[in-house]
Chains A and B, each alone.
Chain A
Amino acid sequence: MKKVVLTIFSAFALLTSCQDAYEIDQPGYVTDGSEVFTDVASVERALSGIYGMLNTETRIKFETVFTDEVGIGVNNGGAGINDGSYNFVLLSTNGYAESIWYGNYTTINNINRLFRVIDGLIVKEEEGSPNRQRFEKAKAELYGLRAYCNLVLFSYYTPDYKNPAGLSIMKLDYEHTDLNVTIPRSNVADIKKFIEDDIAEANKYYGDQGYNLAENHFITKGALDAMLVKLYSMTEDYDNVIDIASDIIDSNIHTLATGNDYVEMYHVKDRFNDEDMVWENGGSTVQKNNPEIIFRLRRAVNQSYTISDIWYTNQIGSSGNTSFEMGRSLYNEFDKLDPTKTGQPVYDPALKNDFDVPYYIYLERSDVRFKTNLFSDSEAKANYKSLSQTAYIANDKLFIGKYRERAENRMQADMMVFRFSDILLALAEARAAKGQITGTVAVGDYSNVESIIYNIRTARLNPDSGVTEPNGMPVITNAQSAWKAILNERRMEFAFEGHRYLDVKRIGEKANVGFERDEKDCERNGACELAPRDYKLTLPIPRNEMLSNAKMVQNPGY
């Protein structure tokens, strides 16, 4: 008996002395970078991930509610009001402020890691070999992407673009792995140089390739030039703006999209089969070769980015449960684009529920931007000002229709990052700064502010309206009115594209224009205006950064 028992126990003892209890590899865990990055294909795969990290959706979602782009929607259940985002409440705990900051630095962190991987792998490839070239292209794209991230950060978190010694963002130009190291904010001049240098590095590859329409969803020479234009218009290096803008214009590859081409950038009818969206009724042009587009972010079904869910909860349009609508003050600007119809109600009850009728029949105005931004079943009341608050919310329905696709409940669309009109209007800013506000007004003449606006409005004419000449042009008499005209044109041209906040920050003071909501849109919360000098036009450094980085300095006001 004793023997039996002892045998059993020693068997157990053997069983339990194994190290397999605490030295465990989880199935499928890869913890060594050298297993992941082995060749050029794996680097390109990681590069695809970095492109996928870029988004403008976050910025748009922040800006559209915080600025004067939207008003309270018919189904608003407290969105924007309860959290203060529609009330100009902006704190360092703001989720968007944190998301823009952390999101871009995360991308930069990843880019820097990939630089190191490439530097390790590229040495094995012969100079000039196909693999070597692929590595070099990847590297150029990474420089371009890093410049882009820094440009975004620079634009939101720098209090004063024009002061070279003023505080800007953190310069992260190395592979950062030591959690205990923090870095302080660099000054404006350093960051400007950092961005310029990255673009110059990228241009070593792209410089002689010229502009490229077919690749407009990747970094190209056009994207690099556009970044410089955006940078220099912030820092007011207007000569540089004129130089680069002229390069782009003179190349004649990027031009203004006309009529339906403009609409197509945002209205997508079919996304199931198509890798690149096609506009069914409008013609044969695909976004791919749309001359207006300099850089866009393409969105695929399985990417999680959404845009329209900031305005709607279910789907786009009247049945989408609307949290926010187009702000009345913005609508009024669109309304003025066709003076013959200004003030007229929008709504055809007979057609309202007929989804087969193309929406533009009853939204027909002379400028395509009207129907691009307004959804078909909107109802604009001519007498809205005299309505009670309740009746105004319930009846004056201005549904945002900018990003539309067939599966309207998916709320996803390609994001336009840089467009040709952005370059033109940056040029207009340079012209305004140089006093070139009026002069010859003609198609193809970009020598003064008025003509640039004329060119844009001519391009945006609605071919179905029969109108061939833009009317209702802004009256430009002095510098301020020129700046104001530029700002207003940008407001319409880039509505819901994440520009308004930065535009007012950059030139609002010159135009003496801040955020201006219609009085009907601020009756419920008392937040009607934000002045162009307000400290809230620079985002706060996120609280998390302030707490974790002893070298960090908060922006004024927060």
Chain B
Amino acid sequence: MRSKVTWILTLFFSLIVQVGFAQQKKVSGVVKTQDGDPIPGATVLLVGTNEGTDTDLEGTYTLNASKGDKIKVAYLGYKSVTLTVSDSNVLNVTLQEEEIDVLDEIVIDQYRTMSKQESTVAQTTITSKTIEGRPNANVIQTLQGQVPGLNIMTGSGQPGSDDIDIVLRGVGSINGSTKPLFIVDGAAMADDRFRSINPNDIETITVLKDAGATSIYGNRGANGVIVITTKRGSFNQDLSVKYSGLTGVQFLQENNYNLMNSRELMTFENKVGVRSWTPEDMDNAVNTDWQNIFFAPAIQQNHTISFSAGSKNLSSNTSLGYADYEGILKTTGLKRFNLRSNLNGKNDSGRLNYSTSLGMNYSKNKMLNGTGTNLIYHNYFLGAFRALPYVDPNKYNWGRDYDSTRTAESELGDAGVTPIVLLNRMLYTGYGQNELKMNLNGAISYKLSDDITIGNQAGVDYQSISQTAWYSPLGYSQRRSIEGQEHPNGDPVKYTGSYAETLEERFVFNNTASLKYSKTFSDVHTVNVGLYTEYIKAHLNSTSISKRGFDPLFFAPGTGSGWIADNPGDDIYAVTGGKNKFNSGLFSYFGTVGYDYDKRFGLDATIRRDASFRFTKDNQWGTFWSVAGRWNISNEKFMENSIFTDLKLRGSYGVSGNQDITNAGYFGGANLFSTRYGIGVGYLGESSVFITQIPNESLKWETTAQGNVGLDFGLFNNRLRGTFDVYQKNTDDLFLARRLSAINGQTEINANFGSMENQGLELMLQGDIVRTENTRITLSANGSYNKNTVTEIPEATGFALNGDGLTGYKVGQPFAEFYLYKFAGIDVASGDALYYKQGGGTTKNPTDDDRFWTGKTMWPKYQGSFGIDVEHKGFFLTANFTYAKDVYRYDNDYYWYTTPGFAGVFNMSNDINGAWSSTNKTNASFPKLNSQTQALLSDSDFYVKDASYIRMRFISVGYNFKKSDLDFLNLSGLRVFAQGENLLTWTKWKGWDAESSRQLDFGQYPTPRSVSFGVEVQF
């Protein structure tokens, strides 16, 4: 009753008001763009009331209003306009397109923050919009295709694996690290392992590319820098809660090896003469698909809930995450728990600011420890991909018990039994790493005056990894290994099973103190100066034990229970252990100067002095510097009415260094400048002392000088926007394996010699094809070209070889180029393979002199991506395609599938049936099956295959609910989407994945494809 009265009263009063004050009239008009096009669907509101209307197809509206009323016209993508009703009954409105975010972006490096407009450097920033909701356990994978010039090659399907090669603007080092430096919330990461970091916590990723940006990182900047910031709250903000969840399934990708089925393989084995199968055998043979036995669709899920709030002087962002990624190979997976809490605080005057970032991550990784090896009892991929299809797992109880596996071994032999033993292994063994990772950072700054700020930032990156590997005493290989073994007293050895654990702690402390000055004179001259010192100290401490001999009755996986005590008489069950400790450190002081004139010209310079623990006194310090300038052409008067919204020319030149010359992170390569002695096993098993290292006293930094010219542009109100960069990088004092004569006592020593250059172009383009209220279609593309040339190898030969026997470096040729015999076809008469001779002709027996520089490398010359973003009335679709061209890898799997020596041991490809024979002489694709020189084929370019590809890297479709539709749920946002990764690939490569971080793969974990579904809810 009461509510009814209220309602009636309200109505009554509103009538009075209207009657009392309104001199209402109809106001109408047309809403147009600045180009004069009508805008349908724009909202026209009478300010202060609930009244309003939409424009029709011609952009016209009609509204009741009084003189003096304010009407507001709004349309997505345009600046809202508020106008006052005058005497006229016609009120036309022109809306200006809203300036696109690009201009408001800021560029953050660890030390400086500036608007993109003011930035003088080549960089690309990726925001959380791109990162969130992707099903990659490792955020680095998500970066693929997003940044021109950044080449990301994933080499493993293990969830969270760091088997990822990240190369920016071409390879800059041969033996040293080629990976960029990673900075998370201002602190350098201990390594590039990202499995423990929740991608949903990341706010921005900035990739710094040219010397103007990277020289400030001195000895670590030569390979580029990737700066990651995590999400923070804002001051004066109500609590906002957001949940995002993702669940999906992953599958193995297809291969194109044309593998044999049982009948085909049996026929082939008969032909080679390794088996003699009867027609009945073939009729009765099973056809086992081992891939389906070792692999299974893998479920993954990822949940993150975050809380963000801020009061006047304090803001916070806290998130909790849980993720569970199964691997497509059974038994593998990654589970992760994350907590992140970021705080910002200030005092009332705003002079004192402080912030803390806390990330606590715990991950449990179930991994494999035989991957990439040819250990047939360890490497599951040999079982999955190479096992004989005619072996019937049912016959041997799927390797579940000892006896049936033993039977399998005696019936099938060592190689045939491989998959059965591996199935047994899956049940009885485990290998994993539990990682606790903490990033703790605190920063404080204080404004001494309006112009001068002092600050300090300190951080710790702590990582503790516990790695366990266990083998149950019930496992087949274990029990088999003690058969016939005796104690010295003649008793049989009874107990087996093994357990090994390594505990490793890494601790990196860094501290940066800064003094900054910033002042604008006469309104147009702005000067920024910064002075810094940086101190980094890192410690590694590892302890390991391993032990054999467990009682199966008490044994529990991964625990060490059932421990059989050592018997001093023979020490068969003795525990062995090890201990390691390493320290490393860097110290630097550096400064920056920036000058801006009227937002039209800018100049930045940096200089840095660095000391590294890796070098002798003479070479300990290095000086690195850069200068960079810009001209914001679009801010010039003469550009006022041009089509350019934004046009900036920038250039930089500078020198940065690489002190991680052994590619071992913080700790490797210590004391390479001195002779070292060590303990080893001498004669009669006695402990002896050896010289373990001959010194390289002239060891020093690798240095990279880089010049860059770039253009940032936005046209037609930034509907078309992009960047274009040209660069040249010269790396000197390359740390390279120098071959040594035997008289030195070793085959090689790494030394600074040789030079290399990278030249390239990068282009990024984005265009809004359609930009209306309900629909937006954006096309984007980026591409890069990088040419790598070795410019100096100070050997008499002019070249140096890689230890892998496949590749080398030659002046004038690209880095790590395949250097092999050159396959010239099959000799029609003999069936042997022929190879080109240097200087003409062909031979069956090439010598060293007949190796050729093939010009082929695993590093793509061209790579990039293109994609489309469509939004329409809440629906959205994003598709992204990546490509790499001019990239070659050695197809080692194919070598195994087509080498007759493996017949009877592993499965083969049907392609080998194209081998030369008396009936197939002229069209032979392989040498005859018993060719005496078969071995040379693998030393030739025969197996070097084109691994170029175009791939639909990911596609995502979804719906963003309108706020009004969500009122009944009390939600402020809801987004649902479905997406796929790696769904389609176009390539000549035969293997599971054209992309890999290695030039030659052997029994590796293929990367999967996936389909997933996600939801984001905002409360």
Which A residues are closer than 8 A to B by beta carbons? 1-2, 5-6, 8-9, 12-13, 15-24, 26-33, 36, 42, 45-46, 48-52, 74-75, 77-78, 81-85, 87-89, 91-93, 98, 101-102, 104-106, 108-110, 113, 170, 172, 176-177, 179, 182-183, 217, 270, 272-273, 275, 298, 300-304, 313-314, 321, 355, 388-391, 393, 406-409, 523-527, 542-550, 552, 554, 558
- Complex Cα distance A2/B741, Å? 65
Interface pair B848/A543, CB less than 8 Å apart: yes
User: Which of A83, A273, A388 is within 8 Å of B273, CB to CB?
Assistant: A388
Residues of A within 8 A of B772 (CB): none
B796 within 8 A of A: yes
User: Which of A16, A314, A525 is within 8 Å of B513, CB to CB?
Assistant: A16
Residues of B within 8 A of A26 (CB): 581-583, 670-671
In the assembled complex, the CB of B563 is this many whole angstroms from the nearest CB of chain A, namely 22
Closest partner residue, chain B, to A548 (CB atom): B739
Segment from B194-202, B745-753, B858-866 that makes contact with A: B745-753
CB 8 Å contact bits of B690-721 with A (1 = contact, 0 = none): 11001000000000000000000000000000
Residues of A within 8 A of B513 (CB): 9, 12-13, 16
Closest partner residue, chain B, to A49 (CB atom): B688
CB 8 Å contact bits of B791-802 with A (1 = contact, 0 = none): 000011100110
Interface pair A31/B352, CB less than 8 Å apart: no
B465-513 residues with Cβ-Cβ distance < 8 A to A are 481, 484-488, 511, 513
Interface pair A82/B938, CB less than 8 Å apart: yes
Closest partner residue, chain A, to B695 (CB atom): A31
Interface pair A89/B936, CB less than 8 Å apart: yes
Interface pair B586/A22, CB less than 8 Å apart: yes
Interface pair A302/B685, CB less than 8 Å apart: yes
* Interface SS of A by simple majority: loop
Residues of A within 8 A of B740 (CB): 179, 544, 548
Closest partner residue, chain B, to A549 (CB atom): B741
- Complex Cα distance A182/B742, Å? 9
Known: A106-B745, A548-B740. 18 other contacts (CB 8 A): A9-B456, A9-B513, A21-B535, A24-B670, A32-B675, A48-B684, A52-B681, A77-B414, A87-B932, A98-B747, A179-B744, A182-B741, A388-B273, A524-B272, A526-B932, A544-B747, A547-B797, A548-B748
User: Which of A314, A524, A527, A547 is within 8 Å of B795, CB to CB?
Assistant: A547
Residues of A within 8 A of B485 (CB): 407, 409
Interface pair B747/A31, CB less than 8 Å apart: no
- Complex Cα distance A16/B742, Å? 45
In the assembled complex, the CB of A33 is this many whole angstroms from the nearest CB of chain B, namely 7
B557 within 8 A of A: no
Q: A46-B688, A321-B414 are in contact. Are A544 and B739 (CB under 8 A)?
A: yes
- Complex Cα distance A205/B684, Å? 23
Interface pair B533/A77, CB less than 8 Å apart: no
Interface pair B533/A409, CB less than 8 Å apart: no
Interface pair A78/B902, CB less than 8 Å apart: yes
Residues of A within 8 A of B8 (CB): none
- Complex Cα distance A321/B317, Å? 61
Residues of B within 8 A of A321 (CB): 413-414
Residues of B within 8 A of A12 (CB): 456, 458, 511, 513
Residues of A within 8 A of B848 (CB): 91-93, 543, 546, 554, 558
Interface pair A78/B905, CB less than 8 Å apart: yes
B584 within 8 A of A: yes
Q: A77-B415, A304-B681 are in contact. Are A176 and B587 (CB under 8 A)?
A: no
Q: A87-B935, A301-B685 are in contact. Are A102 and B620 (CB under 8 A)?
A: no
* Interface SS of B by simple majority: mixed
User: Which of A27, A110, A272, A558 is within 8 Å of B488, CB to CB?
Assistant: A272
Residues of A within 8 A of B950 (CB): none
Interface pair A30/B587, CB less than 8 Å apart: no
Q: A21-B535, A82-B902, A407-B485 are in contact. Are A88 and B932 (CB under 8 A)?
A: yes
Which B residues are closer than 8 A to A by beta carbons? 270, 272-276, 347, 352, 413-415, 444, 446, 448, 454, 456, 458, 481, 484-488, 511, 513, 533-537, 570, 581-587, 611-613, 620, 670-671, 674-678, 680-691, 694, 738-749, 795-797, 800-801, 805, 847-848, 899, 901-902, 904-906, 930-936, 938-939
Residues of A within 8 A of B687 (CB): 45
When A and B form their complex, what is the total count of cross-chain residue pairs whose Cβ atoms lie within 8 Å? Answer: 275
- Complex Cα distance A354/B797, Å? 61
Interface pair A179/B484, CB less than 8 Å apart: no
- A-B pairs, top 3 by smallest CB distance, nearest first, are A84-B935, A300-B685, A78-B901
Closest partner residue, chain A, to B537 (CB atom): A21
Residues of B within 8 A of A273 (CB): 488
- Complex Cα distance A549/B575, Å? 46
Closest partner residue, chain A, to B273 (CB atom): A389
In the assembled complex, the CB of A414 is this many whole angstroms from the nearest CB of chain B, namely 11
Q: A16-B533, A27-B581, A548-B740 are in contact. Are A89 and B935 (CB under 8 A)?
A: yes
Closest partner residue, chain B, to A321 (CB atom): B414
Interface pair B612/A22, CB less than 8 Å apart: yes
Interface pair B930/A110, CB less than 8 Å apart: no
- Complex Cα distance A313/B409, Å? 14
- Complex Cα distance A26/B276, Å? 61
Interface pair B682/A45, CB less than 8 Å apart: yes
Interface pair A558/B847, CB less than 8 Å apart: yes
- Complex Cα distance A5/B447, Å? 10
Interface pair A525/B746, CB less than 8 Å apart: no
Residues of B within 8 A of A304 (CB): 681
Interface pair A5/B454, CB less than 8 Å apart: yes
- Complex Cα distance A407/B936, Å? 37
In the assembled complex, the CB of A29 is this many whole angstroms from the nearest CB of chain B, namely 6
Interface pair A49/B680, CB less than 8 Å apart: yes
Interface pair A31/B671, CB less than 8 Å apart: yes
Interface pair B676/A29, CB less than 8 Å apart: yes
Interface pair B583/A24, CB less than 8 Å apart: yes
In the assembled complex, the CB of A82 is this many whole angstroms from the nearest CB of chain B, namely 4
Interface pair B677/A36, CB less than 8 Å apart: yes
User: Which of B352, B511, B749 is within 8 Å of A1, CB to CB?
Assistant: B352
In the assembled complex, the CB of A222 is this many whole angstroms from the nearest CB of chain B, namely 18
Interface pair B684/A300, CB less than 8 Å apart: yes
Interface pair A102/B570, CB less than 8 Å apart: no
Residues of A within 8 A of B415 (CB): 75, 77
- Complex Cα distance A465/B796, Å? 65
Scoring B481, B738, B741 by chain A CB atoms within 10 A of each residue's CB, the highest score goes to: B741
Interface pair B796/A550, CB less than 8 Å apart: yes
Interface pair A21/B458, CB less than 8 Å apart: no
Interface pair A5/B352, CB less than 8 Å apart: yes
Interface pair A170/B742, CB less than 8 Å apart: yes
In the assembled complex, the CB of B579 is this many whole angstroms from the nearest CB of chain A, namely 10
Interface pair B933/A84, CB less than 8 Å apart: yes
Q: A82-B935, A170-B743, A548-B741 are in contact. Are A110 and B691 (CB under 8 A)?
A: yes
Give 24 pairs: A residue, B residue, CB < 8 Å, sorted on A. A1-B347, A2-B448, A9-B446, A9-B454, A12-B458, A12-B511, A24-B585, A33-B675, A45-B688, A49-B688, A52-B681, A52-B683, A75-B415, A78-B899, A82-B938, A106-B745, A170-B741, A179-B694, A270-B488, A313-B414, A388-B276, A406-B486, A547-B795, A548-B741
Residues of A within 8 A of B270 (CB): 390
In the assembled complex, the CB of B235 is this many whole angstroms from the nearest CB of chain A, namely 20
Interface pair B745/A109, CB less than 8 Å apart: yes
- Complex Cα distance A494/B446, Å? 84
In the assembled complex, the CB of A550 is this many whole angstroms from the nearest CB of chain B, namely 5
Residues of A within 8 A of B939 (CB): 91, 93
Closest partner residue, chain A, to B536 (CB atom): A21
User: Which of B612, B682, B743, B901 is within 8 Å of A183, CB to CB?
Assistant: B743
Interface pair A49/B682, CB less than 8 Å apart: yes
User: Which of B611, B620, B677, B748 is within 8 Å of A544, CB to CB?
Assistant: B748
In the assembled complex, the CB of B552 is this many whole angstroms from the nearest CB of chain A, namely 21
Residues of B within 8 A of A552 (CB): 741
User: Which of B582, B585, B684 is within 8 Å of A22, CB to CB?
Assistant: B585
Closest partner residue, chain A, to B795 (CB atom): A547
Closest partner residue, chain B, to A30 (CB atom): B677
Closest partner residue, chain B, to A5 (CB atom): B446
Interface pair B936/A84, CB less than 8 Å apart: yes
